[in-house]
Amino acid sequence: MTVPAILTLESVKPLSFVGSQALYFFEPMVRAFVSVPDYERFAALVERRDTLETLLVKIEARDEATRAEERADKARRRAERDAERNRRKESS
């Protein structure tokens, strides 16, 4: 889900300011129906483009860390499998 998240954030980045202003505009109506404690904070975060860039960097870093863990796990399993094969050959 990393690629769709990055694609979505990159595509809405130019409109983030407009989106934040829409959030401010609809805030009274949203608060009338739903209790959202961090609504104003979210609108302020969306307003700043560097916030979206920071989020993108964090998503990419987490994805890279996950991939590194998967590669290490795969290498560990391969080493265990190879060691088991060697033991079988030696016992035969």
Predicted confidence at residue 58, as pLDDT, reads 95
Distance CA 55, CA 4 (A): 14
* Exposure string over 52-64, b if 16+ CB within 10 A, otherwise e: beeeeeeeeeeee
Query: Taking the domains of the chain in order of start, what are their residue ranges?
Result: 2-91
Can you spell out the DSSP letters for 24-90?
A: HHHHHHHHHH---TTHHHHHHHHH-HHHHHHHHHHHHHHHHHHHHHHHHHHHHHHHHHHHHHHHHHH
Which tops the pLDDT comparison, 81 or 45? 81
Predicted confidence at residue 26, as pLDDT, reads 93
Residue 92 predicted with pLDDT over 80: no
Predicted confidence at residue 73, as pLDDT, reads 96
The whole-chain average pLDDT of the chain stands at: 90
In the DSSP assignment, the letter for residue 1 is -
Residue 60 predicted with pLDDT over 90: yes
